Structure 1
């Protein structure tokens, strides 16, 4: 979080991995599948906070059954 307590506008790859709890491989699989939007600033990959929230909101609810 930023100094004023609000979420940043953009997240680094490391931020997303830490916050969501997925692996780097899964992160890039989700991008390549079109489920998660990412952007580039030079060589750095970022995910806008709004895109991360949209990705999380689109995940199916867990019903407690094994897959």
Structure 2
């Protein structure tokens, strides 16, 4: 039986990601991603019962997160 490759290596080659794979690639937790999905901030696709996040949708979600630079108080 062949050895399983680490999830990150497998996910790096895929166009569609499961929530656990998207969590590994984004350095976010699965709970945070499920919350973003529920709030409509992270788009998913469905194929049967499988929930898929495209790499493009994950990248767009990450790009639209607020900047980490603290704004000066006025």
- Range into which the TM-score falls when normalised by the shorter chain: 0.7 to 0.9
* Pairing 1:1-67 to 2, within 5 Å after superposition: 1-2=12-13, 8-63=14-69
* Structure 1 residues without counterparts, runs of 5 or longer: 3-7
When normalised by structure 1's length, the TM-score is 0.75
Count of aligned pairs: 60
How large is the Cα RMSD of the aligned pairs? 1.6
- Of the two, which has the highest radius of gyration? 2
